[in-house]
Structure 1
């Protein structure tokens, strides 16, 4: 048994050695100089691209309008008194489609100024990433509040008088997320008020009729749904969310 293990080990070592000898010219992590600087090996570019794809959900939530939209939709569902309808997957789908629509100018800028020159080998990968970050930074700066920016700058130990273009990306992203949370809850509060009034009216009517054992939600839910549908609520919410972004940048 021990001889078999030793022979198997020697065989594996021989195969590994022969593969290493035959693969001496195969380069994975390498750089080569170009007229515009240094560029990465194609295999390394593919590796970096696959790594970025794994970070795509986090980038989607941290640098786009997705966070504000999904929070507003979740608060709207709660205001209507619906627990699981629309389900979470439907809300995420709506938020994702609205995000793609609202962020369309950013995607077009990245495609025209970063992806197409990179594809035609006019710029390097590093230059393409720098160009792609410009419209994203512009979008986030337009939506970031001053109070949140100053707070994150204090946490990071950065000077509070930094110009917007000098703010590091690792400071801008949390400031942007805090601003999105604040804006989303403000919009959600405004959406909550009409449905809260309906709940109060229904509860008052039931109390005056002596029906204290009957839950007001059972009576108010059809009225809230009727008002929301008659007012074309989904279109109004989508239009309002889009307007909160489009007017600022």
Structure 2
């Protein structure tokens, strides 16, 4: 038994020495002073960075934020803590975003990404053509007040000569996000207002009846759900959200 163990250890040691002798020299893969290899490494790092922040980019330049905020206010107005759960709300917001942004995505693919992948245009031209549809979408839905605010702050921070214009993504993206947050909260207020009325009516009636020990939410919750179902609330809300984009 001991002889077998010693033979096995000798074999493993010999194998490791052979593997070490055949180790790949990194200098042969990335020779010093090779600009093309360095450029590929930088491009790879940029691609990995973009992929890591892809969810953030989705929320910044699309209609995703407005949908998700409205659905979150709806759940809070109904008084439901986990129904529908976060996965369902995010999935619904994601697919409604794909529905609204389908022409923009198609335009960016046809005019920017596809020709760049096929090496018909340069990377600089591909970037400009890919971002152009998103610029158009954001400019059509951003508030002029928010856009002017970030233009003014750009001039104050970088000076008049280096300030960003209205088409610059440094100004357009944050202005669009602020506009989406505002509109999402406006829609959320309109969504929760009928449910607030139901809560007040139920609380007033129960107080008048002397039912102090029973929480009003126990009675108001089924009434709010029934009201929302009878008015076909999901179709009304989703239709209004889709029509709110130009």
TM-score range, shorter chain: 0.7 to 0.9
- What is the alpha-carbon distance in structure 1 between the residues aligned to residue 209 and residue 54 of structure 2? 55
TM-score (normalizing by structure 1): 0.80
Q: TM-score, normalised on structure 2?
A: 0.81
1:157 maps to 155
Q: Extract structure 1 runs of 4+ deviating beyond 6 A.
A: none
**1:21 Cα deviation (Å)?**
4.4
Q: What is aligned with 2:217?
A: 217
Q: What secondary structure is seen at the aligned counterpart in 1 of 2:81?
A: coil
Write the mapping of 1:187-206 to structure 2, written as runs, cut at 5 A. Answer: 187-206=187-206
Deviation at 1:103, TM superposition (A): 0.7
| Structure with max Cα Rg | 2
CA deviation map 1:130-181 (0-9, x unaligned): 1011010111111111121122222222699xxx974321111111111001
Does structure 1 conserve the Cα–Cα contact (< 8 Å) formed by 2:154 and 2:171? yes
User: Which residue of structure 1 lines up, in the alignment, with residue 95 of structure 2?
Assistant: 97
Cα distance in structure 2, aligned partners of 1:242 and 1:149: 23
Residues 118-137 of structure 1 show CA distances to partners (whole Å, capped at 9, x for unaligned) of: 23221012211110110101
Alpha-carbon distance in structure 2 between the residues aligned to 1:205 and 1:24: 81
Q: Distance in 1 between matches of 2:28 and 2:112?
A: 39
- Once the two structures are TM-superposed, the CA of residue 213 in structure 1 deviates from its matched residue by 1.9
Q: Deviation digits for residues 203-246 of structure 1, max 9, x if unmatched?
A: 1111111112211110010011011112221121111111101x
- 1:169 maps to what in 2? 169
Give the number of aligned pairs: 221
Which residue is 1:8 aligned to?
A: none
Match of 1:29 in 2: 38
Distance 1:19 1:170 in 2: 39
- Separation in 2, partners of 1:49, 1:242: 32
Which position in structure 1 is the counterpart of 2:80? 82
Check conservation: 2:165, 2:171, Cα contact below 8 A.
no
C-alpha distance in 2 between matches for 1:123 and 1:75: 45
Match of 2:105 in 1: 107
| Alignment deviations for residues 35-66 of structure 1 (CA, whole Å, 9 cap, x no partner) | xxxxxx6x765553333211201101111111
* Matched position secondary structure for 1:105: helix
Matches within 5 A, 1:109-128: 109-128=107-126
Q: Which residue of 2 aligns with 1:7?
A: none
8 Å Cα contact 2:30-2:37 kept in structure 1 = no
Name the CA shift for 1:202/1:135 in 2 (closer, same or farther; >3 Å). Answer: same
Unaligned runs of 5+ in 1: 1-11, 31-40
2:8 corresponds to? none
- Could you report, residue by residue, the CA deviation over 1:74-106 in whole angstroms, capped at 9, with x for unpaired residues? 111000011111111211111111111111111
